[in-house]
Structure formats: structure tokens, C-alpha cells
Amino acid sequence: MVTVTNEKELARAMEDKESTIEIVGDLSKKTIKLKATGKVAWAIAFAALTAAVAFAMSGAGAPAALPLAGTTAAFIGGTGATISAIELAVAAGGVAILSALRDDYKIVEKNNNHVVLKRR
């Protein structure tokens, strides 16, 4: 099991296809929100996130890209989760990591400051 505390570490762990990832700190709460987003809401948010990630990767940064995400924050649990999604995608070099988070990992344990993801 690998333990991560930020989006860059989470992206690296997922790219390495770690079988179990422990997420601690504030990122755990944001990850729960991302994972809890329904499929229809996720589809709507994904297009806006793609544009925001492209802008953030151009050097603007995740907070500056937030307006491009449009109403994404409403769909995926708030501004913090939206910025985290953008930062995760930037760290991984693209939005495919967001689909991998939703589709390839399931939450097997969670509490206020801790989430454990297991690869399906």
C-alpha cells in the first residue's frame, strides 16, 4: 500500500497502477466527493474539466482555470473538489486519470481524514 497526501502523489500512484492507495488529509475528502459523483453529472462535468485542465496545463494553474470549469463545482461537490480534479489531471498530464479514478478504483475504507482505494 502506498500513502499519498496530494494530487501529484495520487497521480503517480495511479499511473504506477498501485493495487491499494491510502489517501490522507484534505485530499481524502475531495476524493470522496469525486468518487460520489453520479455518472450523468460526471459526464457533464468532464467536458468542462477537459477545457480547464488544458488551460491549467498552459501555465495558468488550477485556481485560474476554475472559471473554465463552469458549473462543474456544483456537479462534483464544490470548488475544492473541482480544483483537486484539475490538479490531479495536470499532475498526470491529462484528464484520463479522472476516469481511471472513477472506474479503476473503489473506496474500501474511509473516515474523516483517510480513504483507502483498491484497484478493481
Sheet holding 20-24, edge to edge: 2-4, 20-24, 114-119, 105-111
Parallel, antiparallel or unpaired: strands 114-119 and 20-24: antiparallel
| pLDDT tens digits, 55-94 | 889 988 888 888 888 778 778 888 888 889 999 999 999 9
Please report which confidence band the pLDDT of residue 109 belongs to, taking 50, 70 and 90 as the band edges. Answer: very high
Q: Is 8 exposed, middle or buried (0-12, 13-18, 19+ CB in 10 A)?
A: middle
| Cell 466527493 -> residue | 33
pTM given for the model: 0.91
Q: What percent of the chain lies above the pLDDT cut of 90?
A: 61
| pLDDT tens digits, 35-65 | 988 888 888 888 888 889 998 899 888 888 8
What average pLDDT score do residues 94-112 get? 94
What are the extents of the domains in the chain? Answer: 2-119
What's the confidence (pLDDT) of residue 88? 95
What average pLDDT score do residues 4-17 get? 98
What's the confidence (pLDDT) of residue 62? 83
